[in-house]
Amino acid sequence: MPRPVLVVDFGAQYAQLIARRVREVNLYSEVIPHTMDIAEVRAKNPAALVLSGGPSSVYADGAPALHEELLQLGVPVFGICYGFQAMTQALGGTVAQTGQREYGRTSMDVRGGHLHEGLGDVHQVWMSHGDAVSGAPEGFEVTATTPGAPVAAFECEGKKMAGVQYHPEVLHSPHGQAVLRRFLLDFAGLEPTWTPGNIAEQLIEQVREQVGPEGRAICGLSGGVDSAVAAALVQRAIGDRLTCVFVDHGLLRAGEREQVEQDFVSATGANLVTVHEHEAFLSKLAGVMDPEAKRKAIGAEFIRSFERAVAGVLESAPEGATVDYLVQGTLYPDVVESGGGSGTANIKSHHNVGGLPDDVEFKLVEPLRLLFKDEVRAVGRELGLPKEIVGRQPFPGPGLGIRIIGEVTEERLQTLRAADAIVREELTAAGLDDTIWQCPVVLLADVRSVGVQGDGRTYGHPVVLRPVSSEDAMTADWTRVPYDVLERISTRITNEVQEVNRVVLDVTSKPPGTIEWE
């Protein structure tokens, strides 16, 4: 991996977002806790540091401390919000306890310097602070001010250090990314080499090293982006020594099995074993109404099916060969949220895929553990995966099982699949795929509504459209899909899907509603 830009996390909700913004400059970044031992930081051989925001006051009891040695590593440093204030104090400037808070969109006057040059004399920036820097450290030029921050930005090109009181990483600071980019490329002089082509090449090389010339691996495909890209990388690295396993639980959407069986295989040349477990899943779902009970039933059956498939692969391995590695599509946000840590954990397989025989122990291969979702997509495109797989909307593991309100039956699955396929087709045709995070289609199987079609009265079911816009699925808003698109969807569904005689639109944000109905 290239030398990282380390984002020192002072407890900001934005540290990961900052790391993403650095990656958008085509530079590799990692988030580290502010408590990390200085020797460990040195060992990472950072190319630059970005000090994140954090609690509102550097004077607060227990405020996270900045290791002053970080500023003596001889690498460029950029401070943001709390990090800006902590850096100021450490370098001999002053931070005033104003007792006042400046919060939200703020107008900032630019006075000079390089980082804000030519971006406008007055910027809009996003502020969230109490204390304010009142005196820049010696040798630093004050380059911007706001009503609540006499020193809203400073820089010293000679020392390759700078900082801003505002949050450049959020979209409410429209020039923030330009300022960060200038710092990293112009002040710090870093080479933007973190590109999809280079990332793919490095990851393939890493997998080759980890698995070695003889090692064999297995990978469960879900149909989703992460497992597909992870498998494609490992396939490039070790070829036929990878076997992919796909459990078709019968709760997939129209065309998804074909996407894996045909498109994925022809794009990658991977060995694929599909197990058709349709009936096993349906029989476990018979009579189950409660959402959590459905999830449990599907999850448990999934583990059993996967276990059977793995046992089959292990048995059919060539004489004397063992399968030692399990590929997983873990992404960087999961790694950061579970406390980081590097290297590959050597875990008992059942901690992850559950239920595998106790004597089967896999080593994990997690080629995506340093990537964000958008990078995974870019690498997938680089590897030639079809856009239907790379651009796929998030889809819950329990599949259509949690989009049928009521008992799951084969007939209901067929109805929902048909309605869902129409919705996807029309949204794509209207060019809305990038606007919409995902659009669950929900069948209210236990509700009936009266309709009229031709000369006859119908007594069918409603489906609900749930188009949402979101950045991370933690919060979401309902997407304002144009009326003419909604009209086409409604007309087609009620004409083409016999059991459905009503199409309704969910106009609830999250919170209070969740994205899925169950």
Binding positions for ligand XMP, rule: CB under 6 A: 295, 394, 396-398, 438, 473, 510, 514-516
Question: Is-catalytic flag, 244?
Answer: no
Query: Do residues 145 and 109 make contact, with C-beta atoms less than 8 angstroms apart?
Result: yes
* Closer of 197 and 394 to ligand XMP (Cβ): 394
CA distance 134 to 322: 65
Least separation in angstroms between CB 334 and ligand XMP: 13
- Find the catalytic residue in 34, 116, 129, 167: 167
Rounded to the nearest 5°, which phi and psi values hold at 322? -120, 155
250: left (phi over 0), alpha (psi -120 to 50) or beta: left
* Closer of 111 and 295 to ligand XMP (Cβ): 295
Gyration radius of the chain over CA positions: 27
CA distance 422 to 495: 11
The CA angle 252-216-264, to the nearest 5 degrees, is 30
- Find the catalytic residue in 34, 81, 175, 256: 81
| 316 marked ligand binding residue | no
Least separation in angstroms between CB 396 and ligand XMP: 3
* Closer of 222 and 415 to ligand XMP (Cβ): 222
Question: Is-catalytic flag, 167?
Answer: yes
* Closer of 279 and 472 to ligand XMP (Cβ): 472
| 320 marked ligand binding residue | no
Least separation in angstroms between CB 294 and ligand XMP: 9
Least separation in angstroms between CB 516 and ligand XMP: 3
SS3 of 17-81: the string is HHHHHHHHCCCCEEEEECCCCHHHHHHCCCCEEEECCCCCCCCCCCCCCCCHHHHHCCCCEEEEC
Least separation in angstroms between CB 172 and ligand XMP: 24
Question: Is-catalytic flag, 407?
Answer: no
Parallel/antiparallel/unpaired status of strands 149-156 and 29-33? unpaired
* Closer of 179 and 515 to ligand XMP (Cβ): 515
423: left (phi over 0), alpha (psi -120 to 50) or beta: alpha
Least separation in angstroms between CB 442 and ligand XMP: 11
Q: How many CB atoms lie within 10 A of CB 283?
A: 10
Distances (CA, A) of 144 to 148, 183, 490, 506: 12, 15, 53, 45
| 226 marked ligand binding residue | yes
| 223 marked ligand binding residue | yes
| 148 marked ligand binding residue | no
* Closer of 295 and 448 to ligand XMP (Cβ): 295
- Find the catalytic residue in 24, 30, 102, 169: 169
Of 379, 383, 367, 364, residue with least CA distance to 332: 367
- Annotated binding-site residue numbers for ATP: 222-228
Which residues belong to the active site?
81, 167, 169
Annotated binding site: 222-228
